Amino acid sequence: MYPMIYKKRNTLASLLPSLLPLAFLGYACGGSDSSSSSGGLSDFSLTIDTVFVDSGEEFLLSPKLGMSYDFSHDGSEMVYYDYQTRILEIISLKDMRLVSKKQQDGDGPNSLGFFVNFLGPVSDGLYYTTATYQPFRFLNPHTGEVEKQIRSFEESFEKIDWEEKLFFNPAVTFEKNGQVAWSISGKSGSFMPSYLTRMDLQKEELKAIPIEALADYAGFSLSFSTEGSSTARIPGFHILPIQEGVLIGNSIDADMLIYEVAKDTLRKLPVPESRFQMAIQQKPPVTEVESMERFQELSKDIAQNWYLGDFIADEKEKKLYRLARRSKSKQVEEEEAPKNEMEMVLLVFDLENLRLLGEVEIGKVEDYAAGGLFMMEPFIFRLIGTMNWPLFVSGCSK
């Protein structure tokens, strides 16, 4: 059985011209114009530039809600898919050009189904696609072929070690071997997740590990339910496979958990000396409301909080990065339309001992729809959808 969706990820909401401009913020090592930082990272400096994706004679897709995308493990390509038009495109991030554009079959062995809202890398050249209550499909985007499918857990896995009422979250993160995937899941009827789930394709095993600490963040959730439908806003939870097992973080504070596979144990890491603590975040006065109007009103208040994003590991330089952002109203002239601006801070950790090395203040930019974080030597990038083009935020590998 497939689960309810806790959060929608990797969705673009911008317009791309055929020659796609990609503005990016870059952290250069050294330089005289250093951005504000703490923890001995003062040699980070900030630059702004624009690059372009060459689409040749083709028109690029016009990204919108419902389009799913993600990056290869090595950050060399971006794959995105529009389920409404069934168009699949690949952009090379090494030379910024469109390398493939094709339309998937509407039915047959290479169909991706009626709806797709999760897409992510599995291993070299292979991605998964799925949606709530839909099969997992393993796609080679360069050929357009679906190489295999998981239609039901009961048919595909010999051992399923979890409670009957657990719903598996299909927003999974695969280890680079392409055999093991992790996700944060929960129980039927509850919006808040409470389990770390492990899917082993080679051993045909599924396992759920209870995580009581996730309940600490329930006070930051908000839901509205009517007969037959429900809407919820919950904190984000992020996972990163590492050598010992998997690292677990959240969008509220800089706290982290680590699950060690060999020991089958879960432990909390020492709290880093970070400005991002649960105490500074604003909780809604209630977690359940009786009208959509009240839900939207409180959602705007929650949106003013800091949001800590995904992990990204730089294995060469032994660094771990996270990007924190928050949106605030921007002062404008009376005749101008209301605008928001986004404040961003880059957190840098030691990848080996997971100690926080420092926090780099990027500053404020126009508020954009934030997208995925990925690594491409020697930079890290943040993709952010704007009304006219995506914005990449890049960081120096040190």
pLDDT tens digits, one per residue of 259-277: 999 999 999 998 788 889 8
* Mean per-residue pLDDT, 92-96: 81
More confident call, 44 vs 158: 158
- What pLDDT, in 10s, does the model give residues 216-236? 999 999 999 888 788 889 999
Token reading at 152: 């039901």
Is 60 exceeded by the pLDDT of residue 155? yes
Name the band, by pLDDT with cuts 50, 70 and 90, for residue 103: very high
Rounded mean pLDDT of the chain?
77
* Domain assignments of the chain as residue spans, ordered by start: 1-6+36-58+306-389, 60-151, 153-305
Name the band, by pLDDT with cuts 50, 70 and 90, for residue 398: very low
Is 70 exceeded by the pLDDT of residue 316? yes
CA nearest to 164, candidates 180, 156, 153:
153
CA distance 363 to 365: 7
Tell me what pLDDT residue 193 has.
Answer: 92
Tell me what pLDDT residue 255 has.
Answer: 92
Name the band, by pLDDT with cuts 50, 70 and 90, for residue 200: very high
Calculate Rg over the CA atoms of the chain: 21
Name the band, by pLDDT with cuts 50, 70 and 90, for residue 33: very low
**Share of residues in the chain with pLDDT > 70 (%):** 73
Tell me what pLDDT residue 51 has.
Answer: 57
* Mean per-residue pLDDT, 297-306: 89
CA distance 53 to 139: 24
* Mean per-residue pLDDT, 111-130: 90
Span between the terminal Cα atoms of the chain, in Å? 44
Residue with tokens 């291993």: 123
Is 50 exceeded by the pLDDT of residue 22? no
Tell me what pLDDT residue 44 has.
Answer: 54
Q: Which CATH number fits domain 60-151: 3.50.50.60, 2.30.130.30, 3.40.50.720, 2.40.10.480?
A: 2.40.10.480
Residues 349-355: contacts with CB under 8 Å, at least 24 apart: 349/272, 349/319, 349/320, 349/321, 349/322, 350/318, 350/319, 350/320, 351/242, 351/313, 351/314, 351/315, 351/318, 351/319, 351/320, 352/318, 354/247, 354/256, 354/258, 354/269, 354/320, 355/272
Name the band, by pLDDT with cuts 50, 70 and 90, for residue 153: confident
Tell me what pLDDT residue 228 has.
Answer: 78
Token reading at 89: 């495109």
